[in-house]
Structure 1
Amino acid sequence: MTPSFSLHEAGGTLPEQEESLLEDWIRAVIEARGGRLGELTYIFCDDDYLHQVNVEYLQHDTLTDIITFPYAEFPLVSGDLFISTERVADNAKEYGESYTTELHRVMVHGVLHLCGQSDKSSEDAGTMRDLEAWALSLRPAALAA
Protein backbone atom coordinates (compact mmCIF):
# COMPACT_ATOMS: atom_id res chain seq x y z
CA MET A 1 0.00 0.00 0.00
CA THR A 2 1.38 3.37 -1.00
CA PRO A 3 1.12 5.91 1.82
CA SER A 4 -1.34 8.68 1.12
CA PHE A 5 -2.63 11.65 3.06
CA SER A 6 -5.51 13.73 1.81
CA LEU A 7 -7.86 16.47 2.95
CA HIS A 8 -11.40 16.85 1.60
CA GLU A 9 -14.19 19.31 2.16
CA ALA A 10 -17.77 18.12 2.65
CA GLY A 11 -19.44 21.24 3.98
CA GLY A 12 -16.67 22.08 6.46
CA THR A 13 -13.60 24.26 6.16
CA LEU A 14 -10.21 22.87 5.17
CA PRO A 15 -7.25 23.79 7.39
CA GLU A 16 -5.42 26.90 6.25
CA GLN A 17 -1.99 25.27 6.52
CA GLU A 18 -0.20 23.56 3.69
CA GLU A 19 -1.24 19.94 3.33
CA SER A 20 2.40 18.81 3.16
CA LEU A 21 3.17 20.38 6.57
CA LEU A 22 0.15 18.68 8.11
CA GLU A 23 1.15 15.36 6.54
CA ASP A 24 4.73 15.61 7.83
CA TRP A 25 3.46 16.36 11.34
CA ILE A 26 0.89 13.56 11.37
CA ARG A 27 3.44 11.12 9.92
CA ALA A 28 5.91 12.10 12.70
CA VAL A 29 3.25 11.39 15.35
CA ILE A 30 2.42 8.01 13.79
CA GLU A 31 6.09 7.01 13.53
CA ALA A 32 6.82 8.14 17.12
CA ARG A 33 4.00 5.81 18.23
CA GLY A 34 5.61 2.93 16.32
CA GLY A 35 3.29 2.97 13.32
CA ARG A 36 3.53 3.71 9.64
CA LEU A 37 1.29 5.85 7.47
CA GLY A 38 -1.06 4.00 5.17
CA GLU A 39 -4.02 5.74 3.54
CA LEU A 40 -5.30 8.56 5.72
CA THR A 41 -8.21 10.71 4.59
CA TYR A 42 -9.60 13.66 6.51
CA ILE A 43 -13.09 14.81 5.59
CA PHE A 44 -14.00 18.23 6.97
CA CYS A 45 -17.77 18.63 7.26
CA ASP A 46 -20.51 20.47 9.13
CA ASP A 47 -22.56 19.25 12.10
CA ASP A 48 -25.45 17.98 9.97
CA TYR A 49 -23.17 15.85 7.79
CA LEU A 50 -21.31 14.32 10.73
CA HIS A 51 -24.53 13.76 12.67
CA GLN A 52 -25.90 11.83 9.69
CA VAL A 53 -22.73 9.69 9.59
CA ASN A 54 -23.00 9.11 13.35
CA VAL A 55 -26.63 7.96 13.12
CA GLU A 56 -26.24 5.90 9.95
CA TYR A 57 -23.02 4.04 10.74
CA LEU A 58 -22.77 4.08 14.55
CA GLN A 59 -26.43 4.43 15.57
CA HIS A 60 -25.50 7.38 17.82
CA ASP A 61 -27.99 10.25 17.67
CA THR A 62 -25.54 12.85 18.98
CA LEU A 63 -23.28 15.60 17.75
CA THR A 64 -19.55 14.95 17.90
CA ASP A 65 -16.36 16.59 16.67
CA ILE A 66 -14.77 13.51 15.05
CA ILE A 67 -15.61 10.02 13.89
CA THR A 68 -12.77 7.74 12.90
CA PHE A 69 -13.19 4.70 10.67
CA PRO A 70 -10.12 2.44 10.77
CA TYR A 71 -9.23 0.41 7.67
CA ALA A 72 -6.16 -1.43 8.96
CA GLU A 73 -4.65 -2.81 12.13
CA PHE A 74 -1.85 -0.96 13.87
CA PRO A 75 1.07 -0.56 13.10
CA LEU A 76 -0.43 0.37 9.71
CA VAL A 77 -2.41 3.58 10.23
CA SER A 78 -5.17 3.87 7.64
CA GLY A 79 -8.65 5.27 7.88
CA ASP A 80 -11.18 7.98 7.21
CA LEU A 81 -11.49 10.75 9.79
CA PHE A 82 -14.64 12.87 9.61
CA ILE A 83 -14.34 16.18 11.47
CA SER A 84 -17.11 18.70 12.11
CA THR A 85 -15.49 22.10 11.83
CA GLU A 86 -18.59 23.59 13.48
CA ARG A 87 -17.95 21.46 16.60
CA VAL A 88 -14.26 22.35 16.48
CA ALA A 89 -15.10 26.08 16.40
CA ASP A 90 -17.56 25.75 19.30
CA ASN A 91 -15.13 23.65 21.34
CA ALA A 92 -12.28 26.10 20.71
CA LYS A 93 -14.41 28.89 22.19
CA GLU A 94 -15.50 26.72 25.13
CA TYR A 95 -11.93 25.61 25.96
CA GLY A 96 -10.35 29.03 25.29
CA GLU A 97 -8.15 27.63 22.51
CA SER A 98 -7.45 28.95 19.06
CA TYR A 99 -9.44 27.33 16.28
CA THR A 100 -6.22 26.01 14.71
CA THR A 101 -5.01 24.36 17.92
CA GLU A 102 -8.38 22.74 18.54
CA LEU A 103 -8.55 21.53 14.92
CA HIS A 104 -5.09 20.01 15.24
CA ARG A 105 -6.04 18.41 18.56
CA VAL A 106 -9.04 16.75 16.94
CA MET A 107 -7.01 15.69 13.89
CA VAL A 108 -4.40 14.00 16.08
CA HIS A 109 -7.08 12.54 18.38
CA GLY A 110 -8.34 10.45 15.48
CA VAL A 111 -4.81 9.39 14.56
CA LEU A 112 -4.16 8.31 18.15
CA HIS A 113 -7.27 6.13 17.97
CA LEU A 114 -5.87 4.57 14.79
CA CYS A 115 -2.63 3.96 16.73
CA GLY A 116 -4.60 1.95 19.29
CA GLN A 117 -5.28 4.53 21.99
CA SER A 118 -8.72 4.23 23.56
CA ASP A 119 -10.53 6.92 25.51
CA LYS A 120 -13.46 4.90 26.88
CA SER A 121 -12.38 4.75 30.54
CA SER A 122 -11.45 7.81 32.58
CA GLU A 123 -7.86 6.51 32.80
CA ASP A 124 -7.68 6.03 29.02
CA ALA A 125 -9.24 9.47 28.47
CA GLY A 126 -6.53 11.02 30.65
CA THR A 127 -3.84 9.19 28.67
CA MET A 128 -5.46 10.40 25.44
CA ARG A 129 -5.35 14.02 26.65
CA ASP A 130 -1.68 13.63 27.56
CA LEU A 131 -0.92 12.12 24.15
CA GLU A 132 -2.82 14.92 22.39
CA ALA A 133 -0.70 17.51 24.26
CA TRP A 134 2.47 15.59 23.38
CA ALA A 135 1.47 15.40 19.70
CA LEU A 136 0.62 19.11 19.61
CA SER A 137 4.09 19.82 21.00
CA LEU A 138 5.55 18.10 17.92
CA ARG A 139 3.89 20.55 15.52
CA PRO A 140 6.33 22.62 13.49
CA ALA A 141 6.21 26.34 14.27
CA ALA A 142 4.54 27.02 10.90
CA LEU A 143 1.53 24.95 12.01
CA ALA A 144 1.36 26.17 15.59
CA ALA A 145 1.14 29.84 14.57
Structure 2
Amino acid sequence: MDVPALSSHDIGIACDDERWAQTVADLDAFVVRAIEAALAVAPGAIEGEREISVLLTSDAAVRELNRTWRGQDKPTNVLSFPAPPQPGHAAGPAPLGDVVLAYDTMLRESEEQAKPLAHHLAHLLVHGTLHLLGQDHETGDAQADAMEALEIAALRGLGIPDPYAD
Protein backbone atom coordinates (compact mmCIF):
# COMPACT_ATOMS: atom_id res chain seq x y z
CA MET A 1 0.00 0.00 0.00
CA ASP A 2 1.08 3.56 -0.70
CA VAL A 3 0.78 5.16 2.73
CA PRO A 4 1.59 8.53 4.23
CA ALA A 5 4.52 8.89 6.61
CA LEU A 6 3.97 8.21 10.28
CA SER A 7 2.09 10.81 12.21
CA SER A 8 3.08 14.23 13.37
CA HIS A 9 -0.04 14.06 15.55
CA ASP A 10 -0.32 12.37 18.95
CA ILE A 11 -2.32 9.22 18.25
CA GLY A 12 -2.77 6.98 21.26
CA ILE A 13 -3.84 3.41 20.64
CA ALA A 14 -5.25 1.10 23.31
CA CYS A 15 -6.29 -2.49 22.71
CA ASP A 16 -8.24 -4.57 25.22
CA ASP A 17 -9.03 -7.53 22.92
CA GLU A 18 -6.10 -9.71 21.84
CA ARG A 19 -7.82 -10.65 18.56
CA TRP A 20 -6.94 -7.22 17.16
CA ALA A 21 -3.27 -8.21 17.05
CA GLN A 22 -4.16 -10.72 14.33
CA THR A 23 -5.91 -8.22 12.03
CA VAL A 24 -2.99 -6.66 10.17
CA ALA A 25 0.78 -6.62 10.49
CA ASP A 26 2.17 -3.70 12.47
CA LEU A 27 -1.30 -2.72 13.68
CA ASP A 28 -0.29 0.49 15.47
CA ALA A 29 1.45 1.90 12.39
CA PHE A 30 -1.53 0.86 10.25
CA VAL A 31 -3.94 2.73 12.55
CA VAL A 32 -1.76 5.84 12.50
CA ARG A 33 -1.53 5.83 8.68
CA ALA A 34 -5.31 5.49 8.28
CA ILE A 35 -5.97 8.37 10.66
CA GLU A 36 -3.34 10.51 8.94
CA ALA A 37 -5.00 9.77 5.59
CA ALA A 38 -8.33 11.05 6.96
CA LEU A 39 -6.69 14.19 8.38
CA ALA A 40 -4.98 14.81 5.03
CA VAL A 41 -8.28 15.00 3.09
CA ALA A 42 -10.25 16.89 5.71
CA PRO A 43 -11.75 20.14 4.47
CA GLY A 44 -9.98 23.16 5.87
CA ALA A 45 -6.51 23.11 7.30
CA ILE A 46 -5.78 21.07 10.39
CA GLU A 47 -3.67 23.62 12.18
CA GLY A 48 -1.27 22.44 14.82
CA GLU A 49 -0.76 19.03 16.29
CA ARG A 50 -3.85 17.05 17.30
CA GLU A 51 -4.37 14.34 19.89
CA ILE A 52 -6.57 11.38 18.99
CA SER A 53 -7.25 8.28 21.07
CA VAL A 54 -8.19 4.96 19.49
CA LEU A 55 -9.64 2.02 21.40
CA LEU A 56 -9.67 -1.37 19.69
CA THR A 57 -12.14 -3.44 21.66
CA SER A 58 -14.96 -6.00 21.59
CA ASP A 59 -18.60 -5.79 20.58
CA ALA A 60 -19.58 -6.04 24.26
CA ALA A 61 -17.59 -2.92 25.17
CA VAL A 62 -18.89 -0.97 22.16
CA ARG A 63 -22.44 -2.05 22.96
CA GLU A 64 -22.07 -0.61 26.47
CA LEU A 65 -20.67 2.68 25.13
CA ASN A 66 -23.38 2.84 22.47
CA ARG A 67 -26.09 2.25 25.09
CA THR A 68 -24.62 4.80 27.51
CA TRP A 69 -23.82 7.61 25.07
CA ARG A 70 -26.24 7.11 22.18
CA GLY A 71 -29.15 5.26 23.78
CA GLN A 72 -28.76 2.33 21.38
CA ASP A 73 -28.45 -1.04 23.08
CA LYS A 74 -26.43 -2.76 20.35
CA PRO A 75 -22.87 -2.93 19.11
CA THR A 76 -21.83 -0.90 16.09
CA ASN A 77 -18.68 -0.95 14.00
CA VAL A 78 -17.19 2.41 15.06
CA LEU A 79 -18.03 5.13 17.54
CA SER A 80 -16.55 8.63 17.53
CA PHE A 81 -16.50 10.96 20.50
CA PRO A 82 -15.33 14.46 19.49
CA ALA A 83 -13.47 16.33 22.21
CA PRO A 84 -15.23 19.42 23.51
CA PRO A 85 -13.78 22.78 22.47
CA GLN A 86 -10.63 23.67 24.37
CA PRO A 87 -10.65 27.47 24.73
CA GLY A 88 -7.26 28.84 25.59
CA HIS A 89 -5.56 25.50 24.92
CA ALA A 90 -1.97 26.39 24.11
CA ALA A 91 0.48 23.73 25.30
CA GLY A 92 0.77 20.41 23.51
CA PRO A 93 -1.51 18.81 20.95
CA ALA A 94 -5.15 19.92 20.90
CA PRO A 95 -7.53 17.04 21.72
CA LEU A 96 -9.61 16.00 18.70
CA GLY A 97 -11.44 13.08 20.31
CA ASP A 98 -11.75 9.31 20.59
CA VAL A 99 -12.47 6.58 18.03
CA VAL A 100 -13.66 3.17 19.27
CA LEU A 101 -13.87 0.08 17.05
CA ALA A 102 -15.66 -3.23 17.68
CA TYR A 103 -13.74 -6.29 16.52
CA ASP A 104 -16.63 -8.72 15.96
CA THR A 105 -18.75 -6.26 14.00
CA MET A 106 -15.79 -5.19 11.86
CA LEU A 107 -14.91 -8.81 11.10
CA ARG A 108 -18.52 -9.77 10.29
CA GLU A 109 -19.00 -6.77 7.99
CA SER A 110 -15.72 -7.47 6.21
CA GLU A 111 -16.83 -11.04 5.51
CA GLU A 112 -20.39 -10.02 4.47
CA GLN A 113 -19.01 -7.39 2.08
CA ALA A 114 -16.27 -9.71 0.79
CA LYS A 115 -13.64 -7.04 1.50
CA PRO A 116 -10.16 -7.61 2.88
CA LEU A 117 -10.15 -7.09 6.63
CA ALA A 118 -7.38 -4.48 6.42
CA HIS A 119 -9.38 -2.47 3.88
CA HIS A 120 -12.48 -2.45 6.05
CA LEU A 121 -10.46 -1.55 9.14
CA ALA A 122 -8.87 1.39 7.32
CA HIS A 123 -12.31 2.52 6.14
CA LEU A 124 -13.72 2.47 9.67
CA LEU A 125 -10.72 4.39 11.02
CA VAL A 126 -11.09 7.03 8.30
CA HIS A 127 -14.86 7.18 8.87
CA GLY A 128 -14.49 7.61 12.63
CA THR A 129 -11.80 10.27 12.25
CA LEU A 130 -13.93 12.26 9.81
CA HIS A 131 -16.72 12.24 12.40
CA LEU A 132 -14.27 13.78 14.89
CA LEU A 133 -13.72 16.54 12.34
CA GLY A 134 -17.44 17.31 12.13
CA GLN A 135 -18.37 15.26 9.07
CA ASP A 136 -21.85 13.72 9.23
CA HIS A 137 -23.65 11.26 6.97
CA GLU A 138 -26.94 11.17 8.88
CA THR A 139 -28.22 14.72 8.36
CA GLY A 140 -28.86 14.54 4.62
CA ASP A 141 -27.83 13.17 1.26
CA ALA A 142 -25.49 16.06 0.46
CA GLN A 143 -23.59 15.58 3.73
CA ALA A 144 -23.46 11.81 3.22
CA ASP A 145 -22.13 12.26 -0.33
CA ALA A 146 -19.49 14.74 0.87
CA MET A 147 -18.34 12.41 3.65
CA GLU A 148 -18.20 9.42 1.28
CA ALA A 149 -16.08 11.44 -1.17
CA LEU A 150 -13.62 12.24 1.62
CA GLU A 151 -13.50 8.59 2.68
CA ILE A 152 -12.84 7.48 -0.90
CA ALA A 153 -10.04 10.05 -1.27
CA ALA A 154 -8.39 9.06 2.02
CA LEU A 155 -8.57 5.37 1.19
CA ARG A 156 -7.23 5.99 -2.34
CA GLY A 157 -4.19 7.56 -0.66
CA LEU A 158 -3.71 4.27 1.18
CA GLY A 159 -4.05 2.22 -2.01
CA ILE A 160 -7.49 0.93 -1.01
CA PRO A 161 -10.31 0.80 -3.58
CA ASP A 162 -13.59 2.69 -3.25
CA PRO A 163 -15.58 0.88 -0.53
CA TYR A 164 -18.85 2.07 -2.07
CA ALA A 165 -18.20 0.68 -5.57
CA ASP A 166 -20.33 -2.27 -6.60
Superposition TM-score, scaled by structure 1 size: 0.81
Structure 2: gaps spanning 5 or more residues: 1-7, 86-93, 161-166
Kept in 1: contact 2:78–2:101 (CA 8 A): yes
**2: CA distance between counterparts of 1:50 and 1:126?**
26
Letter in 2 for 1:13: W
Residue aligning to 1:13:
20
Structure 1: gaps spanning 5 or more residues: none
* Structure with more of its chain in strand, by fraction: 1
Question: Size of the alignment, in residue pairs?
Answer: 138
Kept in 2: contact 1:65–1:83 (CA 8 A): yes
Q: Structure 1 residue 10: deviation in Å?
A: 2.0
* Structure with more of its chain in helix, by fraction: 1
The equivalent position to 2:100 in structure 1, one of 57, 71, 82, is 82
Q: Structure 1 residue 28: deviation in Å?
A: 4.3
Q: Structure 1 residue 6: deviation in Å?
A: 1.7
The equivalent position to 2:133 in structure 1, one of 115, 121, 128, is 115
The equivalent position to 1:35 in structure 2, one of 46, 52, 63, is 46
Letter in 2 for 1:104: A
Q: Where does 1:20-99 land on structure 2 (aligned, <5 Å)?
A: 20=29, 22-33=31-42, 34-36=45-47, 37-72=49-84, 78-99=96-117
Aligned-residue Cα RMSD (Å) equals 2.4
Highest Rg: 1 or 2? Answer: 2
